[in-house]
Chain A
Amino acid sequence: MGAYIVKRLLISIPVIFGISLITFIMLNVIPGDPIALMMKEHISTDVVERVRAQMHLDDPAYVRFFRFVWDALHGDFGTSYKLNRSVTTLLLDAFPNTLALAMSGALVSWIIGIPAGVLSAVKKRSFLDNSIMGFSLLGVSIPVFWAGLLFQYIFSMVLGILPVSGFSGPEYLIMPAIVLGWSSAGTIARLTRSSLLEVMRNDYIRTARAKGNLEIKVILNHALKNSMLPVVTVMALQVAGLLSGAVITESVFGIPGIGRIAVNAIQSRDMPLLQGAVMFTTVLVILGNLVADILYSLIDPRIKYD
């Protein structure tokens, strides 16, 4: 297992390198002078020239790219144009908030999604099944930002039981987590349902019944574990989705996380900060996929990583 993890991490290196290249090209090579954009027009040209030289912006693109990679390898993503602080520090400060949000969002989606999917499969083609499937489609279709505003309106404005926005205590996490988890919950419920129905057709389910098992035990002990395999695969893809969702949720609820940094960086055209945020998030996605793979091998003994 250890060897597998090392191997997977090694395979990730070219992917991360490729992504930094794509990001770098999009942010740097395409025309547009960051200094001019940053400082607006009322700055004299020689100031601009000095800053350019200071930031090595006059070097050829490939030199700048390798300098970026080299620095990144040393944990240095440069300095934010706007905030004049180390990008790495800014990101590391924001990371725990994003992690807390994404994890609790994921938790919400599993706690709602998996039981709902099981219930739906067990009561196949019943009113309950149709309702759950309808709701899950609603979950997938609801715009995350709008759901956030709706929640704020209902729970903070009308009912006044939850704080509107900010991040200074666990209660601030409740609404964002539900809003973020909601849409994945729909996907997970649908997948759990179809996967469970598929597994229920297997011969070993008949064996489990022939042993004299209660039907509910057949489902929970014999079918559920097998049916979680595709769900875990989707959980890996969910990492990217959750981080996308976190960008929006953090903006709506004013949570100082990576996503809000990225949005602010775009609005203030703070290139190093945006670049750092993108790289950071991508690495998170890759690590998330690795965790899902390991989880997969824990469920399915047929998979051996070595």
Chain B
Amino acid sequence: MREDNTILEINNLKTYFYTDKGVVPAVDDVSIKVKKGQIVGIVGESGCGKSMTSLSIMQLIAPPGKIAGGEIRFDQKNLVGISKQEMRSIRGNEISMIFQEPMTSLNPVYPVGKQVAETLLLHNANMTKAEAKRKVIEMFAMVGIPEPEKRYSVYPHQLSGGLRQRVMIAMALICRSKLLIADEPTTALDVTIEAQILKLMKNLQAEIDTSIIMITHNLGIVAEMCDYVYVMYAGKIMEQADVFDLFDNPKHPYTEGLLKSIPRRDVHQNKSKGLYSIEGMVPNMLQLPRGCRFHPRCEYAVDACREVEPQLVDMGNDHLVRCIKYNQ
């Protein structure tokens, strides 16, 4: 039974890249659910398939990448295989996206206000330019851009990184999207600006009543923002749980490792040991290890981990984990 308040439901999504050297399973059998008004986090190291998941939702995977299977149900409608025209009417209108690099995500040769207004005009055929401009200026004020009227006609290079990201947020929310995908929205910003932007997003989320998928490698952001979390590793979901549950009771060794590597004030740290970090590197996606993808870096790995790929196991309370420890 699908619950009524589900806005996005991804089932067994497979996004593969067919390169000369072989097939890269960037997103491998991933299922994600987002409820209305919920902020869902997707966490993982870079290259784990987080961004590919979000681009798959937007249907913006470029060749040689392709959605090889699964479904993406948005508002009851499967986006996989939908017509291009229909998808365009959803992009920027019902699902919108904020990218990692505010520096390069805005077109340098157009004024920022015009770029935001474009989204509005694209999805509202009857709107006049003057009306669009008024709405953009309103939105600029709402995302906390000072002197919004003046800022309407400046160029991206004349704005700071924080302001540019606010412009991106304004652009994403101008059509009151039902779902906002934020792909590392603060990674390129200073820590102080980061806090402001996150606060802004949280406020806007409540005000506009949108759902957010927050893609990040930063568990601090997850703790602050998210209701529910997916932990991804090498294209697969390793663990998923309510945010409190995950932080209090991590089940997967990878999640445990990620949590341990957050610098914390409240826990006394052994200075000589320094900050904890997970040994090794993300595997080469062309030559994934047999068995569990994480086993080469796992301190608890046993022989079975090298042989069998574990399944996601429901631990109750909407907490699922993919580890051999819980498979028996």
Contacts and interface: CB of A to CB of B under 8 A. Distances in A.
A222 B157 contact: no
A226 B108 contact: yes
Contacts of B157: 301-302
Interface in A50-89: none
B104 interface: yes
Nearest to B122: A212
Interface in B113-134: 118-119, 122-123
Contact of B99 (A207, A214, A299, A301): A207
A222 B99 CA distance: 17
Interface residues of A, number: 19
A211 B171 contact: yes
Nearest to A201: B62
B122 A211 contact: yes
A212 B107 contact: no
A300 interface: yes
B90 A203 contact: no
Given A209-B91, A211-B92, A299 B109 contact: yes
A300 B60 contact: no
A27 interface: no
Contacts, number: 65
B58 interface: yes
Contact of B91 (A211, A222, A226, A302): A211
A207 B106 contact: yes
Nearest to A217: B122
B194 interface: no
A210 interface: yes
Interface in B64-101: 88-93, 96-97, 99, 101
A5 to B, nearest CB: 22
Interface residues of B, number: 26
A203 B109 contact: no
A204 B119 contact: no
A214 B97 CA distance: 17
Interface string A274-306: 000000000000000000000000011110000
Nearest to B90: A212
Contacts of A210: 58, 60, 91-92, 96-97
Contacts of B93: 212
A25 B96 CA distance: 67
A202 interface: yes
Nearest to A215: B84
A228 to B, nearest CB: 9
A13 B109 CA distance: 32
B247 interface: no
B105 interface: yes
A202 B91 contact: no
A212 B92 contact: yes
A212 B88 CA distance: 4
A292 B106 CA distance: 25
Given A207-B106, A226-B107, A302-B155, 10 more contacts: A203-B99, A203-B101, A204-B104, A204-B105, A210-B60, A210-B96, A213-B88, A213-B118, A222-B107, A302-B108
Interface of B: 58, 60, 88-93, 96-97, 99, 101, 104-109, 118-119, 122-123, 155, 157, 168, 171
23 contacts: A202-B104, A203-B105, A204-B108, A207-B99, A207-B105, A207-B168, A208-B107, A209-B60, A209-B91, A210-B92, A210-B96, A211-B92, A211-B118, A211-B171, A212-B89, A212-B92, A212-B93, A212-B123, A213-B88, A213-B92, A213-B118, A299-B109, A301-B109
Interface of A: 202-204, 206-214, 222, 225-226, 299-302
Shortest Cβ-Cβ A-B pairs, 5 listed = A211-B92, A212-B91, A212-B92, A203-B104, A204-B107
